[in-house]
Every structure is written in C-alpha cells, then in structure tokens.
C-alpha cells in the first residue's frame, strides 16, 4: 500500500485520539474491520463468486449468514462476525 496514503489515513484517524483508551478502541475497530474483510474475501474465493452475484444461483453452495466469534490477542478481545456458507 502507498505510504503517503497510509500516512494521510493515520493522520485523519489520530485527530480523534485523546487517550490511550481511544487508541485501544481504534486498534480493536481496525482489527475487526480487517479480519472481517479478509474472511469475506476468503469466502468469495472459496465459493467462486462475490456476494449478490447472479452466477451464485443454482451452485448448491451459498452464503448462509454470519457466526459471532471472539478473537483474543495482545489488544484484548475483539468480537467479529464470521461469514458462513451452506456446505460449511
């Protein structure tokens, strides 16, 4: 990713950080968004089509909602919504 773009994004996000607690909350939100986006991309790859794509009809396997999961790491626990498919 472009370093200048990352620096601009970081500067924008830093405007709302007033304390260590704010930084922790931002970190957890970024982890949540990144993991959920990666899991959705992985499911797209597994199924062979993107969400709401017309070619999904009649394939025998499709998206089937989300499951709540908790990630435990050095930044505390983060609740995510992991996508599911029918054939699991």
The pLDDT of residue 23 is 93
Q: Are 55 and 80 in contact (CB under 8 A)?
A: no
On whether the CB atoms of residues 47 and 55 are closer than 8 A, the answer is no
pTM listed for this prediction: 0.83
Confidence of residue 56 (pLDDT cuts 50, 70, 90): confident
For the chain, what percent of residues have pLDDT higher than 70?
99
Give yes or no for residue 39 having a pLDDT over 80: yes
CA 84/CA 39 separation, integer angstroms: 10
pLDDT above 90: residue 49: no
Q: How far apart, in whole angstroms, are the C-alpha atoms of residue 71 and residue 83?
A: 15
The domain spans of the chain are 22-85
pLDDT of residue 78: 96
């Amino acid at each position: 990713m472009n370093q200048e773009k990352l620096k601009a994004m970081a500067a924008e996000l830093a405007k709302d950080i007033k304390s260590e607690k704010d930084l922790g909350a931002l970190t957890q939100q970024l982890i949540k968004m990144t993991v959920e986006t990666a899991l959705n991309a992985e499911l797209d790859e597994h199924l062979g089509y993107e969400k709401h794509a017309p070619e999904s009809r009649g394939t025998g396997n499709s998206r089937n909602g989300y499951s709540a999961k908790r990630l435990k790491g050095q930044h505390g626990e983060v609740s995510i919504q992991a996508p599911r498919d029918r054939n699991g």
